[in-house]
């Protein structure tokens, strides 16, 4: 083979490799966004075939066509040039477009991701070797090699899955070692008070409130952010839990049956708070009964001398027959026959006031920066737990007053003449309705920005439609993010005859924020509800 042809082949592989690397990183980002879950990842791929199988990846075949049309030296060299140029242009365009798209959560190169990259690189190298072998040992034509590597571009999103499958035994071994370390650490701290918190919604806010109130007496540690998976819990225990800690608060999330039990087997909680049960993650749970059973895995894992704190306003909680003899403390706002009840709830632009009445009739008064009736339920659980652990009521009253807003959960942010109600991490039917109720009580122009709710299974359309219908009496202007994603909300707004001139469907979040800036007036209130992950961008 002439030396110049070898140089052109190397340049082609380099240009192909550059473009392929960019495509692969995008696929890896989506795999991470789908929490390394194969089912969710394939579900995302099915809904984004245009990204998974981009038509522009056929463009390099123009160079192949030219090689066949002009089977001479000039045609071959021109064909190489076209292929190289197309890959360079595609790579540059992908970089330019990626910089224009706002990414809420970029790819994080964790140790697991690095292992995936290494395995993927090995797979790509083996694919190139196989293509080279087929081309020069079987067909004897370098054109075959070019045809094959262009085909490989359509496999980028599948390479991540293959690499993950190959790495599965390694990941399982690493996971087991880390989990065993975390279990030993918990066992070595017998005086540690471990609190588990779960629910379809409200668990992160509840965790923050519990930590803040108990800090009035104890040196406590809570799982950070949304570290509510087995590995998140394990990392927290191994890296952050110290002998000085007296209380450990573990948020517990789940996507399928058995996952809460797995978390309890690691942390061994003595106290359990169940905030709510609702149609969340039905794409994986399938039925609300499976959600109910999974959430109660926390309560049924408590020891005989453990204490469960249950929100009796939730019918799925109140109606469940607990398979455990632990003590139960009941909480409620609507229900009156409970151990602790929330009353006299009032909202204003500074936050919220409410009372807690215990079983003896003693009333405690509170003021907080937090908003939403559901947060009163969270305070009820934290207050009841504090009483159980010997924290003085007066100390908790002071703590409630200094409780900072939980980031992205009905968080009030004053920006000039407007107030942002940041509820970006809220994605459930109960929470979104309560957020609209908070917005409805504001004295000013009321604007909502939302892409709707997700992972609600067969109920997704109807629940989002009801969400849209509820906006009629609670908002003055609606900004929806994504044409397809928000169609059920649009149908709900249409059914209640919401004025079309007060509805705007944005392409993306940046477009939505631009429209918001055009619509705001002095003393406007803007509710940002449920900011979806990047994997849901249309």
Is pLDDT at 534 greater than 60 in this prediction?
no
**In this predicted structure, what is the pLDDT of residue 98?**
80
Give 38-59 pLDDT, tens digit per residue.
888 998 898 888 889 999 999 9
Under CATH, domain 411-529 is a member of which superfamily?
Mur ligase, C-terminal domain (3.90.190.20)
The encoded tokens of residue 283 equal 């794409």
Instruction: Give the Cβ contact number of residue 212 at 10 Å.
Output: 19
What homologous superfamily is domain 189-402 in, according to CATH? Mur-like, catalytic domain (3.40.1190.10)
Q: Categorize the per-residue pLDDT at 474 as very low, low, confident or very high, splitting at 50, 70 and 90.
A: very high
* pLDDT higher than threshold 70 for residue 537: no
Q: Where in the chain is the domain with CATH 3.40.1190.10?
A: 189-402
**Contact at 8 Å (CB) between 428 and 275?**
no
Contact status, residue 204 vs residue 226, Cβ threshold 8 Å: yes
- On average, the pLDDT of the chain sits at 90
Averaging pLDDT over each range in 198-207, 320-329, 340-349, which range is the top one?
Answer: 320-329
Answer yes or no: is pLDDT of 265 > 60. Answer: yes
Percentage of the chain beyond pLDDT 90 is: 65
The closest of 338, 16, 52 to 149, measured between CA atoms, is 16
* Nearest to 75, CA basis, from 64, 60, 88: 64
Running DSSP on this structure, what letter comes out for residue 138? Answer: I
Residue 416: predicted pLDDT: 80
Distance (Å, rounded) from C-alpha 217 to C-alpha 131?
A: 67
Q: What is the pLDDT of residue 262?
A: 95
Q: What's residue 535's pLDDT? A: 47
Residues carrying CATH 3.90.190.20, the chain: 411-529
Report pLDDT digits (tens) over 365-424. 999 988 888 899 999 999 999 999 999 999 999 999 999 877 777 777 888 878 888 887
What is d(CA 188, CA 101) in angstroms, rounded to the nearest whole number? Answer: 48
Which residues, in sequence order, are CB contacts of 170 under 8 Å at separation 6+? 115
Per-residue pLDDT at 267 exceeds 90: yes
């Amino acid at each position: 083979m002439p030396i110049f042809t070898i140089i052109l082949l190397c340049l082609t592989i380099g240009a192909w490799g550059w473009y392929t690397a960019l495509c692969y990183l995008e696929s890896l980002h989506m795999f991470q966004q789908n929490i390394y879950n194969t089912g969710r990842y394939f579900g995302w791929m099915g809904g984004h075939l245009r990204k998974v199988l981009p038509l522009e990846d056929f463009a390099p075949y123009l160079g192949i066509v030219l090689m066949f049309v002009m089977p001479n030296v000039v045609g071959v060299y021109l064909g190489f040039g076209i292929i190289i140029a197309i890959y360079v242009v595609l790579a540059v365009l992908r970089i330019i477009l990626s910089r224009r798209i706002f990414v809420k959560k970029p790819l994080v190169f964790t140790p697991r991701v690095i292992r995936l990259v290494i395995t993927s690189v090995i797979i790509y190298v083996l694919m190139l070797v196989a293509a080279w072998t087929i081309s020069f040992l079987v067909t004897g034509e370098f054109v075959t090699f070019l045809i094959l590597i262009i085909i490989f571009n359509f496999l980028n999103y599948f390479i991540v899955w293959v690499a993950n499958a190959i790495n599965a035994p390694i990941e399982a071994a690493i996971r087991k070692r880390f989990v065993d370390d975390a279990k030993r650490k918990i066992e070595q701290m017998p005086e540690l008070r471990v609190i588990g918190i779960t629910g379809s919604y409200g668990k992160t806010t509840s965790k923050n409130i519990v930590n803040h109130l108990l800090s009035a007496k104890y040196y406590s540690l809570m799982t950070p952010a949304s570290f509510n998976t087995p590995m998140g819990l394990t990392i927290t225990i191994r890296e952050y839990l110290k002998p000085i800690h007296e209380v450990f608060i573990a948020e517990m999330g789940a996507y399928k049956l058995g996952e809460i039990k797995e978390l309890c087997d690691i942390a061994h909680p003595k106290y359990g708070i169940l905030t709510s049960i609702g149609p969340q993650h039905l794409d994986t749970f399938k039925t609300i009964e499976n959600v109910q059973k999974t959430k109660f895995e926390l309560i049924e894992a408590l020891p005989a001398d453990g204490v469960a704190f249950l929100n009796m306003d939730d019918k799925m909680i109140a109606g469940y027959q607990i398979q455990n003899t632990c003590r139960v403390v009941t909480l409620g706002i609507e229900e009156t026959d409970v151990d602790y009840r929330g009353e006299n709830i009032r909202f204003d632009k500074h936050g919220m006031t409410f009372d807690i009445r215990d079983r003896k009739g003693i009333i405690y008064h509170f003021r907080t920066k937090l908003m939403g009736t559901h947060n009163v339920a969270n305070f009820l659980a934290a207050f009841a737990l504090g009483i159980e652990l010997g924290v003085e009521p007066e100390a908790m009253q002071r703590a409630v007053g200094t409780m900072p807003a939980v980031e992205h959960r009905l968080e009030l942010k004053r920006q000039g003449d407007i107030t942002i109600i940041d509820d970006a991490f809220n994605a459930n039917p109960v929470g979104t309705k309560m957020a609209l109720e908070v917005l409805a009580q504001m004295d000013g122009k009321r604007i909502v920005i939302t892409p709707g709710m997700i992972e609600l299974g067969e109920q997704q359309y109807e629940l989002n439609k009801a969400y849209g219908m509820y906006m009629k009496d609670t908002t003055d202007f609606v900004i929806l993010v994504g044409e397809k994603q928000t169609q059920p909300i649009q149908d709900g707004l249409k059914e209640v005859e919401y004025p079309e001139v007060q509805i705007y469907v944005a392409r993306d979040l940046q477009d939505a924020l631009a429209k918001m800036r055009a619509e705001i007036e002095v003393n406007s209130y803007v509710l940002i509800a449920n900011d979806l992950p990047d994997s849901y961008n249309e």
